[in-house]
Amino acid sequence: MFEKIGLTPEAWQLSVLRCDAKRILVRADRRCGKSTTAAALAVSFAMGNPGAKVVMVTPSHEMMQVECIRRFNPLALIRGLTVSMGGSSVIQVISSQGRGYVPDLLVIDDADLVRYDMALAIRPMMGNRVAIFATATNTPFDAMIEASGTYTFFSTVSLGMGK
């Protein structure tokens, strides 16, 4: 997936993309490729699961991933903040708009920047597959993560893989 856009993925990024766990938590250093990995995960899931609905949540408009997603799949059709590919769709929302979706995969990018009240609004979408990407060790989702105890954890900090 990364090679298509001229990038060489690190081992942790490949591990995240290959992970088939229902719940994934990635804690990684700043600027080590979390958002790129989140977009790659969304695209690879959508392309591998025809008819799937993927919702990507970001804390602000500045962090929108639509163009990043398009880099991974240049044939994707973009309408506003929805990317369609092969019968699947990736819908990008900022955290304050994250209500009412029932995704097959929920990707939360920069989860440490999502406000607590917005995290509560997003919580009903966390029923199927969930991937949470964060830099800090304290996010509004920590209590939900600890309560479920079912997340597969990746960390560039503990593994010394970040740039």
pTM: 0.79
Q: What region does 29 belong to: left with phi over 0, alpha with psi -120 to 50, or beta?
A: beta
CATH architecture of the domain 2-158 equals: 3-Layer(aba) Sandwich (3.40)
The answer to whether residue 65 scores a pLDDT higher than 70 is no
Q: Which residue has the tokens 């708009």?
A: 97
Please state the domain extents for the chain: 2-158
pLDDT tens-digit readout, 16-45: 989 999 999 898 888 788 888 888 888 888
Would you place residue 77 in the very low, low, confident or very high pLDDT band (cuts 50, 70, 90)?
A: low
DSSP 124: G
What is the rounded (10 degree) CA torsion for 140, 145, 151, 153?
Answer: 50
